Amino acid sequence: MNVGVVGASGYSGETLVKLLLGHPLVTLGAVTSRQHVGKPLAQVIPALRGADRGLRFVDSNAAALAASDIELFFLALPHGAAATFAKPFIAAGKKVIDLSADFRIADLATYTRYYGDHQAPELLAQARYVLPELAPADWKRFPIVAAPGCYPTSILVPLAPLLRDGVVTREHIVANSFSGVSGAGRKVEGNYLFVERAESATAYGLLKHRHLAEIEEQLALHSGAPTVIQFNPHLAPMRRGIATTITVPAAPGANVENLYATWHNAYEGRPFIQLLPSGETPDTAFVTGTNRVDLSAVHDVRTGNIVITSALDNLLKGAGGQAVQIMNLWSGFPETTGLV
């Protein structure tokens, strides 16, 4: 299968390109970047020296790409731009896996509140939010798949089945996430300089982080009722990885055995979800470079809370790896093809 990556100059796009170059069942037919047109991939992504198969960046020309024989496009673009590109691709019958926010939120009003005007609201009905281990089975019928973001994946994977099964309450959910700096993207701003971020831990984006929109919409779907969470993101002085710790009151009568039973039911046989024994906590260092989410939980009888911990690589299961996993499932490839 011939696939393309539109907008490959960010960290997610770069990760996706590396994965697709190593994928045994697809051909990387086009990699676009306005900024880098004509340059060999390895000139912009030096990690690919000797391994870019002679590919060069092409212009981000939506019409030309739509007319090509590429069957599936990954969009690694800012929101807004993604929806704009999706239109001609969908019109031309292509499949789209979008890594931006444009198709992550089903409710247009919510999208607008967090991101402003939508560039292709008419396509929302053709899109599905696909966290592969959680999405309703019919998603493959839709031509646009929104790949979830990094923070949402670290929260939804552990929490969604517990809410669905009533193991935890829907009140007083608090999620604190600690993210590597690549989670902020390749922003050339003073705040992201090495000297500023090394030896620095800090919360940011309290109250208004954009990922809240998709987190709460998805939690509501799984819990069956509006669900509000306190989401406190932080930056940690590391390149990759997200560690998320969720505190939520246990439902009456629930305990850690119920909780693990729910997780086992939900994730039995899913290669990228690893359940750690209660008391052993996930560590970003152990998931970096993999497409896994590691999960664990304890029940604090003193407080009545469940404390859940998860870890993933924000550029893999939180971005490019998840997108490839979606492609694998969509195309009927083994789920782990080209992934670790």
Catalytic residue set: 150
Q: How far apart are CB 179 and a second copy at their closest, in Å? A: 8
Residue closer to a second copy (CB basis): 190 or 332: 190
Q: How far apart are CB 174 and a second copy at their closest, in Å? A: 5
What are 211's two structure tokens? 């990922």
Side chain identity at 178, as an amino acid letter?
A: F
Residue recorded with tokens 């031509």 = 143
Side chain identity at 183, as an amino acid letter?
A: G
Taking CB atoms within 8 Å and a gap of at least 24, the contacts of 115-122 are 115/79, 115/80, 115/210, 115/213, 116/80, 118/83, 119/80, 119/81, 119/83, 119/84, 120/83, 120/84, 120/86, 120/87
Residue closer to a second copy (CB basis): 166 or 271: 271
**First-last CA distance in the chain:** 21
Distance CA 263, CA 268 (A): 8
Residue closer to a second copy (CB basis): 91 or 193: 193
Residue closer to a second copy (CB basis): 63 or 188: 188
What are 33's two structure tokens? 């970047």
Residue closer to a second copy (CB basis): 15 or 100: 15
Q: How far is CA 229 from CA 63, 124, 155, 156, 170, in A?
A: 41, 25, 10, 12, 8
Report the largest interatomic distance among the alpha carbons of the chain, rounded to a whole angstrom. Answer: 62
Side chain identity at 258, as an amino acid letter?
A: N
Residue closer to a second copy (CB basis): 124 or 243: 243
Residue closer to a second copy (CB basis): 69 or 189: 189
Distance CA 319, CA 277 (A): 26
Bridge partner residues of 333 (DSSP): none
The answer to whether the beta carbons of residues 4 and 76 sit under 8 Å apart is no
Task: Tell me the residue length of the chain.
Answer: 340
Exposed, middle or buried by CB within 10 Å (0-12, 13-18, 19+), for 189?
exposed
Q: How far apart are CB 131 and a second copy at their closest, in Å? A: 18
